[in-house]
Amino acid sequence: MTMDTTGQWMGTPMDADDIDDLLVGKGWGILSLASDDEPYSLPVSFGYDGEDVSFVFLEDSPHGRKFEFIDDGKTARLLVNDIRGRFDWQSIAITGPVRRVEHDTADWDRLVDALDDNGWFSSDFERADSIDDMHGWRLELDEVRGLEVKER
């Protein structure tokens, strides 16, 4: 197998501009959390402001266990991908600590702006009975890795 063939299957590293473009353009991904030895993954709509990834959880979500797994300072991973074909895809894995974002702060305003700008589903704000039902989170970008395969 040649290096070119390996790149077709395994991908090549994405540059910073392509990573930013995908994070701004996609607006949703799979967030992975863990507690002890038990993993938990869930789809999330997120906003990206060039520095961090922001998302909210609704308090009254009846089907999830996310509040059992998320905690301020805990490490999480977000996977964002765009698969257009077998040999035409991009995938980004972001790892870092999650930080709670409190209401009525500049960080909360930044979170809302990021979700409004490029979140896939920012209507959580419309669904919540009150702002108290929403829990804001920010994922710090300690490690960002992107791979891609471009169709020729």
pTM of the model: 0.86
SS (H, E, C) 19-54: HHHHHHHHCEEEEEEEECCEEEEEEEECEECCCEEE
Contact call for residues 120 and 26 (beta carbons, < 8 A) = yes
Q: Token pair for residue 136?
A: 């804001």
- What is the rounded distance in angstroms from the CA atom of residue 24 to the CA atom of residue 117? 8
What CATH class has 3-149?
mainly beta
Q: Quick one: pLDDT at residue 4?
A: 53
Residue 109, H or E segment: helix 106-118
71 closest CA partner among 60, 61, 50, 57: 57
Q: Please list the ranges in the chain whose pLDDT falls under 70.
A: 1-9, 60-64, 122-132, 152
Q: Quick one: pLDDT at residue 32?
A: 97
Q: Quick one: pLDDT at residue 1?
A: 38
Q: Quick one: pLDDT at residue 133?
A: 72
